[in-house]
Amino acid sequence: MQEKLKAIVEEALEKMKSADKLESLGDIKVAYLGKKGELTEILKSMKEVSPEDRPKVGQMVNDARNVLEEKLEEARQGFVKKMKEEQIKRETIDVTLPAKKTLLGHRHPNNIALEEVERIFVGMGYEVVEGPEVEYDYYNFEALNIPANHPAKDEQDTFYVNSNILLRTQTSPVQVRMMEEGKLPIRMIAPGRVFRSDEVDATHSPCFNQIEGLVIDKNITFADLKGTLAEFARQLFGEGTKVKFRPHHFPFTEPSAEVDVTCFKCGGKGCRFCKGSGWIEILGCGMVHPNVLKMSGIDPNEYTGFAFGVGLERITLLKYEIDDMRLLYENDIRFLRQF
């Protein structure tokens, strides 16, 4: 019996030495120590051993079991250690390498300027309104006192989808839609993209952004328009900014004017930035034409109003002293990071 147990232990130890993975040790343990294992079968045959020899044989079986359990545990620990070492090699982190930087995006200069303009007008009691970019010819031209044969239609080089539908050339159609709703008084600005068939250069693009404003109420005068735009310019360009109104013509306003502000670079003294004039043109404005009010269902004898429009890119270029509009759309991260 002693020789048999010795042979079983030696056989199990040889198998442990040749085991190439942790699962193999589990198979060896089942084969020798399991319910149907070699040592368990010997214990089941103890009834064939004489009573006086049973304690001695039982002790030999227990000793063999202890040896196998001890060797199996040593082999298991060896496999675990080896697997840990391989994992460490595989997942080694070189702490001397530069860390991976998470690049955070930030607002486009156009968006920064737009948010500032919106903040100024919302602070004066205006609401921000949006409208469709694909618009009817009626809202884009006719309802703004620009009939079919008006030269302004040719000047704007419009993208037509068909004879009645086009890509809006201005955000003024949003003003008409608000007036048609008849909820008076109105104090609103309408920012958004507009489209004109322009060649791309330093100051032009076929797609750009406009911000147009409209006020309709009783007893609105040109003085209200001047005061509003003077406050807007002061908040946008600085406390010392002054405004100058030059007579102009727009089909949808009467009287109309172009608005200049004192150069914020030289304070109005004259410099390269303002071409020596001391003034910079920023927007067009005027009192809403009575015909526009009538076509929108508003009585011009009871209500008056003013409107203005400014190019968002123009504000951005002036405010940040950018000399080429194309830089705003090239998405060069080196340029955008400056804002």
Which of these, 120, 128, 312, 69, lies nearest to 209 by C-alpha position? 312
CB of 188 closer than 8 Å to CB of 127: yes
Cβ partners under 8 Å of residue 9, min gap 6: 64, 67, 68
Question: What is the distance between the alpha carbons of residues 145 and 253, in angstroms, rounded to a whole number?
Answer: 9
C-alpha to C-alpha distances, 98 to 93, 95, 101, nearest whole angstrom? 11, 8, 9
C-alpha to C-alpha distances, 104 to 21, 31, 101, 337, 339, nearest whole angstrom? 46, 60, 9, 10, 13
Residue-level length of the chain: 339
Which residue in this structure is represented by tokens 């839609």? 177
Residue type at position 34? G
Residue type at position 53? D
- Residue 180 annotated in ligand binding: no
Q: 3-class SS at 147? A: coil
Q: From the annotation, which residues make up the binding site?
A: 254
Q: From the annotation, which residues make up the binding site for Mg(2+)?
A: 254
